[in-house]
Amino acid sequence: MGHKKMTRAEFIGAWKGVVIITLATIAGGHVLTTGMLFVIGFKDAALHYTLATLFPLILAPAAALPLLVMAGRLRLIKDELENLLRLDTLTELPNRRAFFEQAEVVFKRERAISLMMIDVDRFKQVNDNYGHDFGDRVLRSVAQSIQRIVAQTPGTGAKFAARIGGEEFAVLIEDLTPEAADRLADYLVEQIARLPVQGDGQLVSVTVSVGVAHRRTGNTPGTVLRVADNACYRAKRLGRNQWCDAAAIERPLPALTAA
């Protein structure tokens, strides 16, 4: 990491600490001086108190300022590293860890929650046919589309997307009806299919399959996401480039009537 100049905020924050340390040091020096004077006598009391004030005023700022600046920067570095641990660097979406951390918070609220599992169709073939660099470009393109569409979804509830595996993405949407969640899944499938990815002088169409599941009482994020994953696999088995709601899988077929 290269040398970085001290910012104004760092300087002001460090000096606040310097002032506190200096005043505390002076107070400590005066307490110590008073104790010593009771032992050695008060003949040179003025000199002792002067030294107890001057030394901290000179030495404390010089010693404390660089240490406090360094401590502040270490805190910033720690925060940056914590953020990196929750970021998928390829797509710049939150990663699996961040997704479940946020989902756990949202699931503590008693509100409607829909989860989606999104899988890029035939991604292995994309890598085999066009190379891994192009595959990375596909993942970034799909991630950007998902993030844009989710961010534009109406409502004030929680809504976020993450990359949780190789070509797998997850979406959490709060306060949507099941019908609205299905419309969103349909829109995701449609929009991603409309945005081919440029590669080696040609446009390559990319499609996704989406599984949708809805939180029920007592469900955890992991439980609901597994249900969405099963729905996603069903969408793939039905031909890919489509969505499937887990509720439709669970719903029994109507009884056949005699002709």
| 106-149 tens-digit pLDDT | 999 989 999 999 999 999 999 999 999 999 999 999 999 999 99
Dig out the tokens for 154 from the structure. 């109406």
Active site residue 167: yes
State how far the alpha carbon of 200 is from the alpha carbons of 129, 130, 139, 143, 204, in Å: 11, 8, 16, 21, 10
Query: Percent of the chain, pLDDT > 70?
Result: 64
Please say if the pLDDT value at position 256 is more than 50: no
Q: Is residue 116 located within the same domain as residue 68?
A: no
Q: Is residue 59 located within the same domain as residue 134?
A: no
The better pLDDT of the pair 31, 206 is held by 206
- Over residues 55-76, the mean pLDDT reads 61
The H-or-E segment that residue 198 falls in is: strand 197-199
Pick the last residue of a domain from 84, 101, 134: 84
> What is the three-class DSSP state of 108?
coil
Query: What pLDDT, on the 0 to 100 scale, is given for residue 253?
Result: 41
Q: Is residue 147 located within the same domain as residue 213?
A: yes
- To the nearest whole number, what is the mean pLDDT of the chain? 81
Looking at the chain, how many residues does it have?
259
Instruction: Give the least confident one: 42-51, 134-143, 188-197, 206-215.
Output: 42-51
Pick the last residue of a domain from 66, 84, 102: 84
Dig out the tokens for 179 from the structure. 């019908």
Q: Provide the CA 117 distance to its chain's centre, in angstroms.
A: 18
> What is the three-class DSSP state of 24?
helix
Q: Does residue 1 fall inside a structural domain?
A: no
Q: Does residue 206 fall inside a structural domain?
A: yes
Structural domain count of the chain: 2
> What is the three-class DSSP state of 174?
strand
The conformational region for residue 234 under phi > 0 = left, psi -120 to 50 = alpha, else beta, is alpha
Q: Is residue 212 located within the same domain as residue 244?
A: yes
Query: What pLDDT, on the 0 to 100 scale, is given for residue 200?
Result: 75
Which of these, 90, 92, 197, lies nearest to 148 by C-alpha position? 92
Q: Where are the alpha helices (DSSP H) in the chain?
A: 8-40, 45-84, 96-107, 123-130, 132-151, 178-193, 221-237, 246-250
Q: Does residue 255 fall inside a structural domain?
A: no
Confidence of residue 198 (pLDDT cuts 50, 70, 90): confident
Q: What are the beta bridge partners of residue 243?
A: 210
Q: Is residue 215 located within the same domain as residue 97?
A: yes
Catalytic residue among 92, 101, 110, 167: 167
| 152-180 tens-digit pLDDT | 999 889 999 999 999 999 999 999 999 99
Query: What pLDDT, on the 0 to 100 scale, is given for residue 3?
Result: 46
Q: Is residue 107 located within the same domain as residue 54?
A: no
Q: Is residue 96 located within the same domain as residue 61?
A: no
Residue the block writes with tokens 């994020």: 221
CB contact at 8 A, 24 and 32: no
Dig out the tokens for 150 from the structure. 């989710």
Q: Is residue 206 located within the same domain as residue 98?
A: yes
Dig out the tokens for 163 from the structure. 């990359």
This prediction has a pTM of 0.69
Which of these, 154, 228, 223, lies nearest to 184 by C-alpha position? 154
Q: What CATH number is given to the structural domain containing 143?
A: 3.30.70.270
| 219-229 tens-digit pLDDT | 999 999 999 99
Pick the last residue of a domain from 57, 84, 111: 84
Q: Is residue 76 located within the same domain as residue 98?
A: no
State which residues form the domain around 151: 92-250
Query: What pLDDT, on the 0 to 100 scale, is given for residue 218?
Result: 86
Q: Is residue 54 located within the same domain as residue 104?
A: no
